[in-house]
Amino acid sequence: MATANMERNDDSISSMDAVYFSTVVRSRSDLSRIDESSSDQADPLLHNNTALLTKISLPLDPHPMISQAWESLKRSIVCFRGVPVGTIAALDNSDEKLNYDQVFVRDFVPSALVFLMDKDQDNAIVRKFLKMTLRLQKRKKVIDRFQLSPGVMPASFKVKHEAGKKHESMVPDFGGTAIGRVAPVDSGFWWIILLRAYTKSTGDNSLAETDEFQEGMRLILDLCLSEGFDTFPTLLCTDGCCMIDRRMGLYGYPIEIQALFYMALRCAKHLLKHDDKQGKELMEKIELRLDALSYHMRNYYWLDLKQLNDVYRYKTEEYSHTAVNKFNVMPDSLPDWIFDFMPHRGGYFIGNVSPARMDFRWFCLGNCIAILSCLATTEQSNAIMDLIESRWDVLIGEMPAKICYPALENHEWRIITGCDPKNTRWSYHNGGSWPVLLWLLTAASIKIGRPHIARRALDIAETRLLKDNWPEYYDGKHGRFIGKQARKLQTWSVAGYLVARKMFDDPSHLRMVSFEEDKHISPQHRRSKSLP
C-alpha cells in the first residue's frame, strides 16, 4: 500500500531529456534569498552579506572545464522506466565494470547537491532517488540465510534490463554482493542528510512529512539508537562499512561513521514529526544521544599538541571514575610519525578510540563532516583548518584531498589490510587522494570563514582533473599519479568538483549541508585547546 501511494505521488517525467542542466553560476545577489525563517539556518556568517563579502574574494572566473563536467554528469544519469533515478558510479568502460555501473547512495550525494544548487535544473531526479531508495529499504534483505534489519538502506542499486524484453527491474545491493560482504552503515545517514538538503534547497517539506518517509527515518534511527551492551554513545560497526569500503583497520568506532551519525541525528531532529507519543519518545532519544555523542567525541577523539603530550605521559592500569587514561591506552603505542605531524597550532579528530587502542590517523571526510555538523566546536573547527594549512603538502599536495594520512606500510599493511594489493601504500583507500573530497573541504573552509583554502584547492584541481579525464583517485604521497586501478570518468569526481565550484561562487549553498551550533547542546571541551 505504501509503495502504491508513493507511485501516485511521483513527479511526471517521461525521459532523461526532461532533466535540464545549466552551467550558469548564480550571482552574489542571490545571497539575500536565504530563508531566514528556517528553524535550522546555516552558519550565521551566511546571514550577513557584508561580513561574507569581506571574507570571500570575487567569484572564480568561469572555467572551461565546467561545461564539460556538466556534460559528463548528464551522461551518467540512470533511468528506470524512462525516469531519471540517479547517476552511475563511473562511465569508464575500459575494464570490467564490477559494480561501477550501479547507482550508489553515498556516490549520488554530490551529484544530487549539484542538481539542487542549479536553480534552472529540475529537482525531480533527487526526489525520485529519495523515493526509490526508500522503496528499496522495504525489501526483504537476506544474506546467506541471515535477515538484515528493516532499517538497513541499500549500498547501491542497478537497473536490470531483461534480455529480449522491454521490462526493467531494480536490483538493490545491501552488502550481499559487495566486496567483503559488508552492509553499508553510512547509506542511511547519507540518505537522511540528502533528504534534509533537498528540503532546505526546495523549501518543500511535504516529502519528508509523508508517512513513508517518517517511517523510513524511524527505521534507520531505531537501528542506530537501539540499546545494547555498549558503554559508549558512539556507534559500533565493522570494517569496510563506509567510504573506505575495504579492510583498513576501521572497525569499532571510526570517525567517519560517528560524524555522519551525529549529522544524521541533527538532520532527523528537524525532519521528524514529534506530535505524538512515538515521535516525542524518539526525539528524546535523539537529544540524549546528541548530547552524549558530542561530549564523547570532543573530549576523547580530539588531539592537539597538548593532548598528545598528555597521552605521551599517560599512566596505565588506572581504575575507578578518577582515571585519566580511561581507555587504558599504552603510551608506547604512539606512532613515531605523530610527533612530527602534529603542529604547534592545530588539531583534529583522530580516526578511532576504543579500549587499549587509539587510531591516530587523519581522516578527511570525518573531520570535514564534524565541522559542517558542528560536532566540532568553533575552536576545534579552526584548529582543524590550522592543521590542514600547516600540513598542506601531505594532506592536499598535488590533488585534493588525502583520504587518510599516513598510509599503512610493510608488516602493518600486511596485517591490517590482509595484503590487499589495491590498498598498497599511498594508493586507493590507503593514503590515496580523492577529488570527490574537494566539495567537503570547500564547504568546511567556507563555513568557518577561510575560503582561501577552498580557492587554493580548486586551483590545484583545475590544473589536472579534466586533463586526466576525471579519475576516481590519485596515488603517491603527494597525489602526483593517477591511481593504478582508478576508473576514469568517475561521476563523483565530476560532481565533487561542480559542488565545490558552485559553493565557492555562491556560499549560500552551504545552508543545505551545514548547521550552526545547537544551543541545547553544551559545547564541552574539557581537554586541551589548540596552542596559540
Query: Is residue 361 in a domain?
Result: yes
Amino acid (one-letter) located at 514 = S
Cα–Cα distance for residue pair 161/35, rounded to 1 Å? 43
200, 341, 359, 396 from 476: Cα distances, Å: 39, 18, 22, 12
434, 245 Cβ separation under 8 angstroms: no
- The three grid cell numbers given for residue 133, joined into one nine-digit string: 531508495
Position of cell 596515488? 475
Query: Is residue 241 in a domain?
Result: yes
Cα–Cα distance for residue pair 251/268, rounded to 1 Å? 25
- ∠21-69-469 over CA atoms, to 5°? 155
* Residues 329-367 pLDDT 10s: 999 999 999 999 999 999 999 999 999 999 999 999 999
Query: Is residue 57 in a domain?
Result: no
Whether the link from the prior residue into 421 is cis, omega within 30° of 0, is no
So what's the pLDDT on residue 27? 33
* Residues 290-333 pLDDT 10s: 999 999 999 999 999 999 999 999 999 999 889 999 999 999 99
Phi, psi angle pair for 438, to nearest 5°: -60, -35
Closest CA to 311 of 266, 360, 349, 273: 360
Chain mean pLDDT for the chain:
87
Model confidence pTM above 0.85: yes
Amino acid (one-letter) located at 295 = Y
Query: Is residue 187 in a domain?
Result: yes
Cα–Cα distance for residue pair 497/503, rounded to 1 Å? 10
Cα–Cα distance for residue pair 15/19, rounded to 1 Å? 8
Q: How many domains does the chain have?
A: 1
Closest CA to 407 of 397, 386, 500, 444: 397
Phi, psi angle pair for 311, to nearest 5°: -65, -40
Query: Is residue 490 in a domain?
Result: yes
Query: Is residue 527 in a domain?
Result: no
Report the percentage of the chain scoring pLDDT > 90: 77
* Residues 47-100 pLDDT 10s: 333 333 333 344 455 678 999 999 999 999 999 999 999 999 999 876 666 889
Closest CA to 180 of 120, 242, 122: 242
So what's the pLDDT on residue 499? 98
Confidence check: pLDDT of 12 > 50:
no
Confidence check: pLDDT of 173 > 60:
yes
470, 493 Cβ separation under 8 angstroms: yes
So what's the pLDDT on residue 519? 65
Amino acid (one-letter) located at 205 = N
Who contacts 439 (Cβ-Cβ below 8 Å, separation ≥6)? Answer: 110, 113, 495, 496, 497, 499, 500, 503
Question: How many residues does the structure list for the chain?
Answer: 532
Q: What is the CATH number of the domain that holds 462?
A: 1.50.10.10
Query: What does the DSSP assignment read for 107-147?
Result: HHHHHHHHHHH-TTS-THHHHHHHHHHHHHHTS--EETTEE
pLDDT band of 29, cuts 50, 70, 90: very low
* Residues 451-463 pLDDT 10s: 999 999 999 999 9
So what's the pLDDT on residue 89? 96
68, 190, 422, 423, 483 from 428: Cα distances, Å: 25, 22, 7, 6, 7
- In terms of residue numbers, what domain contains 409? 63-512
The Cβ of residue 487 has, within 10 Å, a number of other Cβ atoms equal to 23
Phi, psi angle pair for 55, to nearest 5°: -95, -20
Range of lowest pLDDT (99-103, 152-156, 285-289, 413-417): 99-103
Range of lowest pLDDT (6-20, 198-212, 241-255, 442-456): 6-20
Query: Is residue 522 in a domain?
Result: no
Confidence check: pLDDT of 20 > 60:
no
256, 366 Cβ separation under 8 angstroms: yes
Query: Is residue 34 in a domain?
Result: no
